Amino acid sequence: MNQSHRRLVLPLLSVLLLTASAVVADSSLTLTRQGAIGGEQRLVSPGGVFQLGLFPVANGTKWFLGIWFTVSPPAVVWVANRGRPLSALSSGMVMLSGRGDLVLLVTARDNETVWSSNPPPAAGETTKTKKFAVVIAAVTTGVALLALSIGLLIWRRIRRGQEATMFEDILRGECPTYHLEVIRAATGGFCPKNEIGRGGFGIVYKLDSSSTSLPGTNQDRNFVMGEMLDGQEVAVKKLSAENRVQGLKEFKNEVDLIAKLQHRNLVRLLGCCIHCSERILVYEYMSNKSLDTFIFDPRRRATLSWKKRMDITLGIARGLLYLHQDSRHTMIHRDLKAANVLLDGDMVAKISDFGIAKLFSSIGDSQHSTVTERIVGTYGYMSPEYAMDGLVSFMQDVYSLGVLLLEIVSGRRNQRSFNLIAHAWKLFEENKSLELLDPAVRDGCSLVELEQAVTCIQVGLLCVQESPSQRPQMSVVIPMLSHQQAPGRPLRPVVCTPVSTPVDLLDVLDDTSGNVELTITNIEGRW
């Protein structure tokens, strides 16, 4: 029977089974899962138009399950077991299976199923189906893996192309380049004994004094005995390969920026190296390391007289003014702190670490600020608008300078356990600002120097005002520090308290000084 006939007969069969009664000796029966019909029993439709049962052909030698019209002459409209006729009427039994299927059984052969309205697939068909499913799954998986591999390959080529372009840009730039093996040998294989500093972006080494002249490019021949041929000592900054913040883009940023910066209060970049994942910067060597190693050290802080502290303060301010206004490429440092202020042999302050600096030209000439989704920096030095909203502007650096001024004056760090800004404001309000001055230098200060200290505190509080518009520009800060312009009276500054922050939202960096280089802050209102 073709598919169209089956579609017509099956609804008819369903109606017949649902509404029929079995007529045997004037008794009405209903076919259920617990019952069965056999022999001459029939299921008769209402009105007696159709009957379902066994009927013979070939003089009663073959019996079939079917449905027929009862009109004269009877007409068979559907046959179940066409290919497997029964040999005798008495051997056939019709019933509903446990799944609700109509089945024809042979009682003489242990109730073997001759026909079912929903037969299971043949063994061969099941195997073919399974094989086909396996093939489809394998092909689908293969295509997916192939597409993934091609996509990964394309991504790698694009990335390599970008890195190659960046590397070529560096090679074509103003910064000399060196071979890795030359620098490795010059630092004693990056020996820990030559380590002079460690921060969130990597480790800083001084060249090994036992080094001799090293082969390499023209620039490489400048390395002799840990110094340049002109007698200038150098330091090597080896960036951490695991560093999530400063990638190749930030490395190129630092190389491009520092190579173009020329100012007495900025660290000078002398060269760089890129080899696979290794990224190295060569700087002028700062024999007195960073400012934090002095002002926060209980013993060394006494060696910083007020005059030296004032010179360092003005040097930092002049360097920042150069970045904001006087440089050919004006920029925002974004990570000004004591650890990023280096001191040379004459204690001249030099701002360093431009890995996350932002060119003002990238903000736009018509704008004074922009917003970033990537918050990086150091807790304690970050302005509230940057920490909370990602707002980047020159005033971000001014805020950091304000914190740094208060730290230089007091010799104390602004940190979670001690809010230096709140403490300085409390003393200022009580006209006790001099109590903030570091005791290690307070007794040795003249009256003029004590006045300078009070001015520095007042300027520091102006720089950490809550609103960026209330903070002075660097062009105003320097005249105030130099007593050429009287500072205004600050308002109560915003007080920030640290809260925990998911690492996947913020870049957290370690600092040898014990700071955690980022947490976001809650802003408390004024009292």
Gyration radius of the chain over CA positions: 44
Would residue 508 count as lying in a domain? Answer: yes
353 & 488 share domain: yes
Q: Are strands 195-198 and 202-206 parallel, antiparallel or unpaired?
A: antiparallel
Retrieve residue 380's tokens: 């304690």
Look at residues 260, 284, 308 and tell me which one is the last residue of a structural domain: 284
DSSP state of 89: G
Would residue 59 count as lying in a domain? Answer: yes
Q: Which helix (H) or strand (E) holds 194?
A: none
pLDDT in tens, 31-41: 666 678 888 88
427 & 501 share domain: yes
**Full DSSP string of 394-428:** HHHHHHHHHHHHHHHHH----BTTB-HHHHHHHHH
pLDDT in tens, 17-31: 544 444 443 335 566
Domain span including residue 34: 3-120
| Mean pLDDT of the region 109-117 | 83
How far, in Å, CA of 459 to CA of 428, rounded?
Answer: 12
Q: With contact defined as beta carbons under 8 Å apart, do 281 and 269 qualify?
A: yes
How far, in Å, CA of 437 to CA of 439, rounded?
Answer: 6
Would residue 165 count as lying in a domain? Answer: no
**Full DSSP string of 485-516:** SPPPPPPPPPEEEE----TTTS---B-TTS-B
Would residue 183 count as lying in a domain? Answer: yes
Which runs of E-coded beta strand occur in 316-363? Answer: 331-332, 341-343, 349-351, 358-359
pLDDT of residue 223: 43
255 & 221 share domain: yes
302 & 432 share domain: yes
Q: Which residues are tagged catalytic?
A: 335
pLDDT in tens, 131-151: 777 778 888 888 888 888 888
253 & 296 share domain: no
Retrieve residue 193's tokens: 């004994």
How far, in Å, CA of 183 to CA of 75, rounded?
Answer: 102
Domain count for the chain, please give it.
Answer: 3
Q: With contact defined as beta carbons under 8 Å apart, do 332 and 323 qualify?
A: yes
pLDDT in tens, 313-361: 999 999 999 999 988 878 899 899 999 999 999 999 999 888 777 776 5
pLDDT in tens, 46-86: 777 788 888 888 777 888 888 888 776 778 888 888 888 88
